[in-house]
Amino acid sequence: MTADFGGTLRAGTTALKAALDAVKAGSVKNVLVVSSDCRLAPPGSAFEQSFGDGAAAFLVGSENVAAEYVDGYFVADEIYDVWRRDVDLYVRTWEERFVYTRGYLRVLTETIKGLFSKSGVSPSDVAKAAVYAPDARRAGELARAVGLDPKSQLQDPLIDAMGCTGTAHAGMLFVAALEEASLGSKLLMASYGNGGDAMLFTVKEGVEKLRGARKGVKGHLALKKPVPDYTTYLKWRKLVNLPEPRVPMAVSYPSASAMWRERHRIYPLHGFKCRKCGTIQFPVLGPSHRVCVNCKAKDDFEEVRLSDRKGKLFSFSFDFLRGVPIGLINLEGGGRLFLEIADADVRELKVGMDMELVFRKLELWRSDGIYGYFWKATPAA
């Protein structure tokens, strides 16, 4: 079962609540909820300084639970405060005082107080509150309005570190709170957008398995790289029209049928492992590739996933036509991949350095209606 939730900044928490209800009802065993946002602000506006892009993912199930859902309170409210129509490129807003006093503060105060009343939990019982906030000042005002101590109970909104990430903001702050939460403590998550969602969780033993096994919010923030200049930002956001580069006619473009045929190679990054000698080959062998390059065994392979493996940078170069580093990666356990290198300055790359794989959108030169995604390499944390 798959579903898309959108049209509101509360889409992430709404999807999470739907997943919790589905698992509780027994209609599904596990649900993966991904909340992400990338909002464009008018150039030179205050939003351009405060907006950030981000995503958070939660696996909802009944085993190895890291945070157990306790209760929730949800409010619907129709107001034009901050919005974007289907034809708008940029986010629009009404007068600031109206937006925050009649919208954000009023609605989330009602929502969070409603949760406390419904659940019987007092503000003092909450260890950390992960609350959507357009800025740090408003987050502090909201905390005081609902009886929370902004200094000790409010999760850092990380506005200076990553900006307000819209739909993903509450989820990202909740993950950040989980990274440091103690067993048995209560965490509150609240989001805002044409209403409010507030949910209460208790930290369980499963959280210990997550710590150290994933980068989390702290790890990703530690790896961030600043955009060198405003022109680069405008270019990456496609807010300025640039001439398309001249490319050779031999360059291939996405094919819907080819993407379907090679879906196991593209998405989970499957390679072939020889059952005789264990040699791993990539890409997945086709009808014309039936023999192991090492032991020469014929038609005796099994598919293996390579996306979760780390590796070493064997060699690298720089594609001046597209402006990206490219390299050969020797994976742990075998296998060699030729990939673009992301989130790295070519001057910082060194042969033999540790690398890991990330799933990214490919930059294409032709707008033919198909978005291309594949794996890239990046220096390991």
Q: Examine residue 249 and state whether it is found in any structural domain, yes or no.
A: no
CATH number of residue 54's parent domain: 3.40.47.10
Question: Would you say 374 and 357 are in contact if contact means Cβ atoms under 8 Å apart?
Answer: no
Average pLDDT over residues 269-297: 84
CATH number of residue 368's parent domain: 2.40.50
209 and 296 in a single domain? The answer is no
Locate 157 and state its tokens. 């909104």
What does the pLDDT look like over 159-200, one tens digit per residue?
A: 999 999 999 999 999 999 999 999 999 999 999 999 999 999
Q: What is the pLDDT of residue 284?
A: 67
212 and 269 in a single domain? The answer is no
Question: Would you say 183 and 204 are in contact if contact means Cβ atoms under 8 Å apart?
Answer: yes
Q: Examine residue 190 and state whether it is found in any structural domain, yes or no.
A: yes
297 and 346 in a single domain? The answer is no
Of residues 48 and 253, which shows the higher confidence score?
48
Strand ranges of the sheet holding 195-203, from the earlier edge strand across to the other edge: 67-76, 195-203, 186-192, 126-131
Residue ending a domain, among 306, 324, 348, is 306
What is the span of the domain harbouring residue 197? 11-222
Residue 6's contacts (CB-CB under 8 Å, 6 or more residues apart) are: none
Average pLDDT over residues 68-72: 97
Taking each helix axis from N to C terminus, what angle separates 106-119 and 136-145, rounded to the nearest 10 degrees?
40
3-class DSSP assignment, residue 120: coil
In DSSP notation, 261-288 reads: HTHHHHSS-EEEEETTT--EESS---TT
Residue ending a domain, among 222, 247, 268, is 222
260 and 170 in a single domain? The answer is no
CA distances from 374 to 308, 351, 361 (A): 14, 23, 7
pLDDT confidence bin for 249, thresholds 50/70/90: very low
Q: What is the pLDDT of residue 101?
A: 92
74 and 145 in a single domain? The answer is yes
Residue ending a domain, among 165, 200, 222, is 222
183 and 265 in a single domain? The answer is no
Q: Examine residue 262 and state whether it is found in any structural domain, yes or no.
A: yes
284 and 190 in a single domain? The answer is no
275 and 379 in a single domain? The answer is no
What does the pLDDT look like over 85-142, one tens digit per residue?
A: 989 999 999 999 999 999 999 999 999 999 999 999 999 999 999 999 999 999 999 9
Q: Examine residue 242 and state whether it is found in any structural domain, yes or no.
A: no
pLDDT confidence bin for 262, thresholds 50/70/90: confident
DSSP state of 65: -
Query: In this prediction, what percent of the chain has a pLDDT beyond 70?
Result: 94
DSSP state of 245: P
Q: Examine residue 248 and state whether it is found in any structural domain, yes or no.
A: no
Handedness of CA 166, 167, 171, 172 (dihedral sign): negative
What does the pLDDT look like over 195-244, one tens digit per residue?
A: 999 999 999 999 988 887 788 898 889 888 888 899 888 888 888 887 76
What does the pLDDT look like over 6-52, one tens digit per residue?
A: 989 999 999 999 999 999 999 999 999 999 999 999 988 989 999 99
31 and 158 in a single domain? The answer is yes
Tell whether the model's pLDDT for residue 366 goes beyond 80. no
pTM above 0.85, yes or no: yes
Total domain count, the chain: 3
Of residues 35 and 286, which shows the higher confidence score?
35
129 and 202 in a single domain? The answer is yes
Q: Examine residue 273 and state whether it is found in any structural domain, yes or no.
A: yes
18 and 28 in a single domain? The answer is yes
Q: Examine residue 245 and state whether it is found in any structural domain, yes or no.
A: no
Q: Examine residue 87 and state whether it is found in any structural domain, yes or no.
A: yes
Tell whether the model's pLDDT for residue 145 goes beyond 90. yes
328 and 359 in a single domain? The answer is yes
